[in-house]
Structure 1
Amino acid sequence: MKNGLLICPSNVDSYKEAELKELMDSGLVPCTTQIFYNPNQIRTKSLLGTGKIQEVRMLLEENPDIDTIVIGYPLSPLQARELEAAFDKPVLDPTDLILNIFSLRAQTKEAKLQVESALLKRKLNRLSGFYTDLDRQGGAGQNRGAGEKKINLDKRQIQLYITQNKKELQKIENQKKTQAKSRNNSNLPIVALAGYTNAGKSTIMNKLLELSTSDSENQKQVYAQDQLFATLDSFVRLIDTDPAAPFLLVDTVGFIQDLPHDLIEGFKSTLSNLKDADLILEIVDAANENHAGHIETVARTFESIGVSQIPVVQVFNKCDQTSFAHPEADNDRIFISARQKSDIQFLQNEIVNRLYGKEVTTTLELPFEKMNQLYLIQKHARILEEKPTDEGVKLTIRYREKNFPKLAGIFQQS
C-alpha cells in the first residue's frame, strides 16, 4: 500500500475531487495529503510553477511516508517527466490511476490483454513525447547518439507487443462473434446492463439470477463489490423467472468521467455487447449527489461507441438511501433498491413488459385431437386453470402480447 499526495487545481468541483480520492483508494494509493494549485498559472513544460514545486518539495520532506504523487489533471508526457524529476517520485494523473485499477481488476485473458495494450499505448505516447522533446532540444541535424537509439528500440519493442496483443484479441473477438451468433439464433431478446462504475450493475444481475428458475452451472453469480471497476469482464446469463418470457442479461464494464480513449478502444469488443442488445438498462446510483453528471458521462460514452439508437431505460438504484419512492416506474425511468427482493421482482416484470408486452388473460378450448399443441401453450404462456370438457379441455391462460403470433394458430382452432 502506497501513500499518495493529491495535487488538484483550485477550481476542481467537489464531485471530481471526491472521485479522484476514490480512484486513489481503489488504485491502492490512498490520499494522505492534499494541496491545490492555481489553474490560471499552468506551465506548459512542468504544469506547476517554481514556487508551487518548491512548496511540494517542502511538504514531501515533512511527510517522508508519501511515495506517490497524483495530479488531478491530465498530464502531457513532458509534464509527467518534469514533475517526476522535480520530486524524485512517481507522478500519476487520472488516466494512470484508472489504468492501475484496471490492472488490479483484470481477471480473464481478454481483460488482461486489453489493459496491457492500453498501458503499452500509454507508454508509447510518453516515449514519443520524450523523443519529440529531444528533437526540439538537439535540432534535427544533430546526432543524439545512444539515448535516441534506446528510445527507438523501446518504441519498436512496444509496437511489437501491441501488434501481438491485437492479434490475440482478434482471436478472442472472433470466438465471441461466434458465441454472439449462437445467442442471436436462439431468438432470445438481449438486455444489457450499463452505466457509471459502482452503480450496482453486477449486484442487480446477481439479484435477478436469484429469481431465475434455471439452476445451470452457467448461471453462477458474478463478482460484485462496492468499489470502482469491480469487474472488467462481460458476463451473459439467462433470466427465465417467467419461463414464457426469458431473456439474456449481459453485464458490461462501468464508465467513468474522462475514461481514457485507449481504454474505450481497448474494451470495444466487450462494449460491443451493447450493440447487440434489444434493450439497455442504464444503472444509475441514485444515492450519489452527482448522479446527473454520471448520466451525462454515460450518454457521451453511448454516443462514442455507437449505441445511441438502442432503447435505454434508466434504472435508479440505491433509492433506499434517497427520498425517491420505490419501486416505481415513470416512462423510461425505474426506481428500485437492489437490496429489496420486491424491487427486483418489480424490475424483472418491467423488463419483461418492455420485451414481450403486457400480460393478457384469456380462455380457450383445446380439443382432444389438438392436445399435441399443449406444449406450445406451456412454452409461450402460463396455464392458470384447466377444466375437462366432453370435447377436450378448457384452459385459462395468461400470455404476453408479443407472444400472440406464436399462439394465434391455436386460438383460431379453438
Structure 2
Amino acid sequence: MMRTRPLKVALLGCGVVGSEVARIMTTHADDLAARIGAPVELAGVAVRRPDKVREGIDPALVTTDATALVKRGDLDIVVEVIGGIEPARTLITTAFEHGASVVSANKALLAQDGAALHAAAEEHGRDLYYEAAVAGAIPLIRPLRESLAGDKVNRVLGIVNGTTNFILDKMDTTGAGYQEALDEATALGYAEADPTADVEGFDAAAKAAILAGIAFHTRVRLDDVHREGMTEVTAGDFASAKEMGCTIKLLAICERAEDGASVTARVHPAMIPLSHPLASVRGAYNAVFVESDASGQLMFYGPGAGGAPTASAVLGDLVAVGRNRLGGTTGPGESAYAALPVSPMGEVVTRYHISLDVADKPGVLAQVATVFAEHGVSIDTVRQQGKDGEASLVVVTHRASDAALGGTVEALRKLDTVRGVASIMRVEGE
C-alpha cells in the first residue's frame, strides 16, 4: 500500500547534476512513488546563487542557508551534490544528527573521510549511499558492496575518468598530440577549463580509494593511492604501443597481493593489449573490470559522467534509501573488517616498457642489459634503431617490482652511453 505522507528530500547543490536530479524527481514522480512506496517531495534546494533561474524548481524552495536546511529536523533524505571537502562534510554529518539519511556523489570527500562519515551514519542509525561517486551511471558500488559480498574480489582494473579516456582515445585513433586532444575535449565540454584533477589523476585516485575499500573490506584513503598523470604521454608512446599490439589508457588498479596479506591501489597510464576488453572503451566512456574467485571476470561499462547519467545513479540510491526509511531499517554500511595493510608502490609487480636514447655504437646494448640484470629485472624483448650516431633502444621487461625498476632506471641514467630515458610505461592486463 502507498503511504500518503511524502518522503521529504533536500538537495544540496543545483548545478549540472543537481538540476537533473530535481528534473527527474518531478517528471518521474509517480514512478518513483510506486517504486519506493511513498511520494517524494522536494523540500528545499541549497545553492550559492539564489537569483539564477532554475527551470522546474519553485523559487520558494531555494535557499543559500544550507546549514539551516539540513537542520530542519523533518527531512528524510539529503542529496549532496556540491562536491569538495567543506562545507559538504559538515553538512552531511549535520544531516545525520538531525535525522536524515544521505545520498552523495562526493568522491573526494568519501576518499578522504569515508570512514568518519560511515561512523556518523551508523551512530545516528542512518544510511550513507554513494553510487554516483564512481563511474556515473554505471552500477558498480552496489554490485561490489552487495552482489559480490559472498565472493573474494582480487582485482579491480578500470577506466574511471571520461575526460582522460577521450584524450587518449583521440591520440590513439587520430595521431593527435596531447595538447591538441585536450583542446578538443575542452571544446566539446568533456574537459574543465582547469583539467588538472582529471589529467593528473586526482579524480581517478579518489575513485580508486573508494573501490579498493569496498572490494577488499579495508579502509583505503586517498593518500594510500599512488597517482601519476597522463600529461607526458606522447604520440611516440602510442607508436610503441601499437608495435606491441597495445593501446594506452589511464587506469585505476586495485589489487590484492598474491598471498592475500595486503592490497595496493594506484592510478597511472599503462599499455594494455588490444585483446583486453578495456582496450575497446572509446570516447568519454568508463569501464571497470573486476576479477574474483567465484565470479571470475566481470566488466561494467557505460557513461561515467554527465548530468543525466550521474543523476540516474543518485536517484537509484534515493529509491533504495527511501525504501529503507519506510521499512525502518538501513542498508549496508562500511565493511572494513579485513583491515589489510596498503603496500607501497615499490612492492607492486608488473611489466614495463622503457624507451632510451642511447649512443649508436658497439657495446651499448650489453651495458644496458647488465644494468637490468644487476637490479634483478629480466628483459623480455629489445628493439634498437640507430642513425647518425644516435639510437633509440626500447626494452620490455618481464614482471618486476616497481622498486627494482626504479633502481634500474636510476642506474641507466648514470651511463655515459645513455643520453636520456625518453619514457617509462607499465604494461597491464596480460
Does TM, scored on the shorter chain, surpass 0.5? no
TM-score range, shorter chain: under 0.3
Larger Rg: 1
> Which structure exhibits the higher relative contact order, with contacts defined as CA atoms closer than 8 Å and separated by 6 or more residues?
2
- Structure with bigger strand share is 2
Q: Whose helix fraction is larger, Structure 1's or Structure 2's?
A: 1
Q: TM-score, normalised by structure 2?
A: 0.27
